[in-house]
Amino acid sequence: MKIPQHIAIIMDGNGRWAKKQNRPRSFGHYQGTENVRNIAIKANELGVKVLTLYAFSTENWKRPAEEIDFLMSIPAIFIERFLAELMEKGIRIKTIGDLEPIPEKTKKVLLRAIETTKDNSNMTLVFALNYGSRKEIVNGINKYVEDVNNNCAPYPLTEELFEKYLETSEFPEIDLLIRTSLDYRLSNFLLWQLSYSELYFTDIYWPQFTGDELVKAIEEFSNRQRRFGGLNE
């Protein structure tokens, strides 16, 4: 089985999963958080180097204030519960997205977790927070134009150079995107970076996407690589 170096996941279906059993959406988010731990541990065991998770999109601010408050409390819950384990397993936390509008309390927790785990080198767990791909691309263009104006970058721009202006520039190419809960959309997630990635969609809700399901997705990825290996672009 060929293991992808970098997997990205759209963790959809927490609310739907909760509703199906007459529980509040927050219960779905809570179970979804537990599952982030399970999948991160499993990915690390399998030898994945980077796992990027879409935790909060720029669109999510449109949700009810109560739900946003709950979502913003999740990083603290997660870190309180799992930081020791992340340290033990050598997992480093990073974020992409604009942290500026994130509540101060949440930001503090995030920055501390990033700092505490910065020397861990087995796997990087990247949370996309207040992330939107078009915004990332436009920000990158603006930074590039500034560099050109300051004579710090050559003109014209190339693909290779532009990638340095994306927030994912330090990470390897994304080999595999997984989206749970059966919506066939990218929802403004890593549009540039997913150009050549394998896409895997499953009807399983995120809280039920187990380690075995991750292995299934990787097996499918591995088979596609074998079938098309070398011949595809």
Q: Which is nearer to ligand V0D, 171 or 206 (CB)?
A: 206
Q: How far is the first Cα of the chain from the last one, in angstroms, to the nearest whole number? A: 20
Catalytic residue among 60, 122, 139, 188: 60
Q: Which is nearer to ligand V0D, 95 or 133 (CB)?
A: 95
60 is a catalytic site residue: yes
Tokens 């997660």 sit on residue: 78
CB of 29 to ligand V0D, least distance (A): 5
**Tokens at 148, concatenated:** 């050109």
Question: What length is written for the chain?
Answer: 233
CB of 132 to ligand V0D, least distance (A): 14
Query: In what side-by-side order are the strands of the sheet with 6-10?
Result: 91-96, 123-131, 50-57, 6-10, 176-179, 198-201
Catalytic residue among 12, 14, 44, 130: 12
Q: Which is nearer to ligand V0D, 140 or 207 (CB)?
A: 207
12 is a catalytic site residue: yes
Q: What letter represents residue 188's amino acid?
A: N
CB of 64 to ligand V0D, least distance (A): 14
Q: Which is nearer to ligand V0D, 119 or 160 (CB)?
A: 119
What is the spatial distance between Cα 122 and Cα 136, in angstroms, rounded to a whole number? Answer: 27
The one-character DSSP state at 203 is: S
How many CB atoms lie under 10 A from the CB of residue 115? 10
CB of 32 to ligand V0D, least distance (A): 3
Q: Give contact residues for ligand V0D (rule: CB under 6 A).
A: 11, 14, 29, 32-33, 36, 55-56, 71-72, 74-75, 78-79, 93, 110, 113, 127, 129, 206
What is the spatial distance between Cα 196 and Cα 210, in angstroms, rounded to a whole number? Answer: 26
Positions marked catalytic: 12, 60
